[in-house]
Amino acid sequence: MSPAAVAFFGGKGGVGKTTLAASYALLLAGRAQRVLVVSTDPAHSLGDVLATPLGDEPTELGGGLWACEISGENAARRRVEQVAAEAREAVPREVMPAVHHHLQRAADSPGTVESALVDRLTDLLDEIGDRWDHVVVDSAPTGHMLRLLSLPTLLTPWIEGLSRQRERARGTERMLSGLLGRADQGEDPLLTRLHERRARLERTRDRMLHDSVVHLVLVPERLPLAETERTARSLTEDGLPLGSLAVNRVAPPEATGLLADRAHREAEVRATIHERFREHGVTEVPLLPGALTGRGELAGIAGILAEAGW
């Protein structure tokens, strides 16, 4: 089966999801695919893993691979600046200080940041088919990832409600213009933007539901397993597709000394993971030496994923 166009990698902080996301992107690029790997984690480490400085715009790394680290804060700031510029053309000058005050408060709110992040991610997803074949998303830790994935579904009804309110207001304006003998003012820019935003959110929601997969990454310990189980339930309840799990940093069974104790403790947790997620598939990535940065070291993990059928 062909891999999904969009693959999200998520999990508890510190389990190695960025390393797995970058390795999977390299695997797809090695199959002559055009691949963008993008970090939405506020604590970006994708550039460190790829040993390349990254910014908001995709950087071509060669071999069919692009990468970027997008900032919700920067995206929110750009959106606020755009709204302020539009307001200066439509709002009386004496009202602008109050407008700037409210826009600044909006820019600092988590909801605005996450919404702007989804908008920027949507921009990148919209280029699938034209600029790249696959997008691999290194998501923030679990809670943030779940909000990011659910936001298009949550925002769409809200945008629809705003559109209906604006359409009613627009109808009233037209009626009053007719009674006063004024010509209709034509297309409503605000309503046009609301319709465009609704279409974008619906497109992103459909892509997440029908052309995406979420790979959860964990280490073989009880707390990460408990969080992974809760996340898997939330994803399933929201209709989001759960793909193969990656169990990272697995101690070798033949280990000796302190590592042998670790391998023994992990054995029961690994067995539970395989039992509970058998239908989705479980891939174990062994504890590997080195910093696991740069293409050379990531290629080993990509090979493990390939052998597991990713």
Whether 150 is in a domain gets the answer yes
pLDDT for 30-51, tens place per residue? 999 999 999 998 888 999 999 9
Q: Looking at residue 43, which CATH number applies to its domain?
A: 3.40.50.300
Q: Are residues 63 and 93 in the same domain?
A: no
Average pLDDT, the chain: 82
d(CA 15, CA 225): 11
Q: Which residue from 76, 56, 83, 78 is spatially nearest to 67, judged by alpha carbons?
A: 56
Q: Are residues 117 and 241 in the same domain?
A: yes
Res 71: pLDDT: 86
Whether 185 is in a domain gets the answer no
Read off φ and ψ for residue 82, nearest 5 degrees.
-65, -45
302 or 253, which is more confident = 302
Q: Among 22-26, 74-78, 181-185, which is the least confidently predicted range? A: 181-185
- How would residue 79 be classed by pLDDT, with cut points 50, 70 and 90? low
158 or 96, which is more confident = 96
Whether 165 is in a domain gets the answer no
Res 185: pLDDT: 55
Q: Are residues 15 and 102 in the same domain?
A: no
Whether 162 is in a domain gets the answer no
Q: Among 146-150, 201-205, 245-249, which is the least confidently predicted range? A: 146-150
Whether 235 is in a domain gets the answer yes
Whether 218 is in a domain gets the answer yes
Question: Which residues lie closer than 8 Å to 216 by C-beta, 6 or more apart?
Answer: 10, 11, 228, 231, 232, 242, 245, 246
Q: Among 24-28, 138-142, 276-280, which is the least confidently predicted range? A: 138-142
Q: Are residues 147 and 222 in the same domain?
A: yes
Whether 122 is in a domain gets the answer yes
Share of the chain above pLDDT 70, in %: 70
51 or 77, which is more confident = 51
Read off φ and ψ for residue 239, nearest 5 degrees.
80, 15
Q: Are residues 225 and 283 in the same domain?
A: yes
Domain count, the chain: 2
Whether 132 is in a domain gets the answer yes
What distance, in Å, lies between the first and last C-alpha atoms of the chain? 10
Share of the chain above pLDDT 90, in %: 51
Res 164: pLDDT: 61
Q: Are residues 23 and 150 in the same domain?
A: yes
DSSP string, 124-138: HHTTBTTTBSEEEEE
Res 113: pLDDT: 74
71 or 106, which is more confident = 71
- What domain range is 121 assigned to? 6-75+113-155+212-307
pLDDT for 217-260, tens place per residue? 999 999 999 999 999 999 898 888 999 999 999 999 888 888 89
In this predicted structure, the answer to whether residue 96 has a pLDDT above a threshold of 80 is no
